[in-house]
Amino acid sequence: MHSPAELATQFRSMGRKLTPQRQLIFSLLHNNQSHPTAESLYGVASAQMPGISLRTVYQTLNELAEMGELLLIDIGEGGTRFDPNIDEHHHAICSDCGKIRDVHVKGASSLKPNDASDFLISEVGVVFKGLCAECEARGSKRSPALQAKMNQKSKSSSK
Between the alpha carbon of residue 1 and those of residues 13, 31, 61, 67, 83, the distances in Å are 17, 8, 12, 10, 9
- List binders of a second copy among 51-90 (CB under 8 A): 62, 65-66, 68, 72-76, 80, 90
H or E element that contains 147: helix 144-153
- Quick one: DSSP state of residue 96? T
Contact between 158 and DNA by CB under 7 A: the answer reads no
From the list 33, 55, 109, 129, which residue makes contact with a second copy (rule: CB under 8 A)?
Answer: 129
For a second copy, the closer CB: 17 or 106: 106
Alpha-carbon distance of 37 to 56, in angstroms, equals: 14
Q: List the x/- string, 2-41, binding to a second copy by CB under 8 A.
A: ----------------------------------------
Instruction: Check if the beta carbon of residue 45 is closer than 8 Å to that of residue 33.
Output: no
Site residues (vs DNA, CB under 7 A): 11-12, 15-22, 37-39, 49, 51-56, 58-60, 62, 78-80, 153, 155, 159
